[in-house]
Structure 1
Amino acid sequence: CDMIGYLREIQDDLARNGAQDPGYDIPYSTVHVGTIRGGTVLNIVPDTAEFMFEIRNLANDDPIAIMARLERHRDVYLADIRTRFPAADITIDIANSYPSLSTDTSGTAVGIIQSLTGTDHTIKVAFGTEGGLFASQLGVPTVVCGPGSMNQGHRPDEYVEVSQLDACDAMLDGLLARLVSGF
């Protein structure tokens, strides 16, 4: 619980003092605890507890520095608690890590997708994709696009309309035609 509380402190600090990008619905990096498990019944002290959290960082916030901050807190906390409970331990396992994506909306890649979709509308979404890997590690200009709307996604009743799939097919057909013709 103390570690979860500290993650909340990190989140509050990122909201106040971290990088800001008004292009996102939430304009700062986020730290989120999604699951908590531990114990079996109320009257027995759990021998283990586990929680899963994620960091969704803006490109200008360093997730390694955020993790280092959490690890320093853990080490200080463990040094104190082990005076009473020598076997106490807290491990942090990183299950996944990828860089954030920040694409220049005036770049060529965005222009190509806009010409294929017939819109100049762009948005930034606060979810992770392989796009950050392509852009930062391979230097490939990257745009994430697809059918549907994030207003409909990542919800219990998420869906994609047939008309949105048809529009995506048309965009992909246009992209294929441009690739075949050499742009």
Structure 2
Amino acid sequence: MTEIRLATNHDGDQIGDLIAKVFAEYPGCVFDRAAEFPELDAIADDFAPHGAIWVAENADGRIIGSLGIKLSADQTVAELHKVYLDKSSRGQGLAQQLLAVGCDWLSAHYPACAELVLWTDSRSVAAQYFYRKCGFAQTDLTRELHDLSHSIEWQFRADVASISAFVNGKTA
């Protein structure tokens, strides 16, 4: 049984382990927690007060998925962060469940938030497929992170209502 719950600061190590496993799937992706992921030391605090991060935990208590949301200053745009899923858990609807939890939280706490954005690594073809399937559209914006992995990311956007309807199994 998988449980989706709000992350705590104590989850940073397991989220880091999850990210490292996902990075290892892509040639040239380097996971250096100290250099590039210091927020994992207090991950829940990093998303507060205008954001949240959830984890999916399996029956053994191991974190197998994560999804975070941070709001813009005017709270009308939300950005997805730390969207990772263990390879063994993909294709089972867990990413969609995490996204549904995030959209439900947005609707309940930030009803004026109308837009959802995200940046995804250009190498993450499966993630891009998932986002498109859910209703996100790729924009013309790209960014180079100048990180250890030499990442180039592409931006995707969607309206919250459409994504929420899709992930919750309703028509928009």
Q: Per residue, is there more strand in 1 or in 2? A: 2
- So what's the TM-score if we normalise by structure 2? 0.27
- So what's the TM-score if we normalise by structure 1? 0.26
Taking CA–CA contacts closer than 8 Å with sequence separation of 6 or more, which of the two structures ends up with the larger relative contact order? Answer: 2
Report which of the two structures shows the higher radius of gyration computed on alpha carbons.
Answer: 1
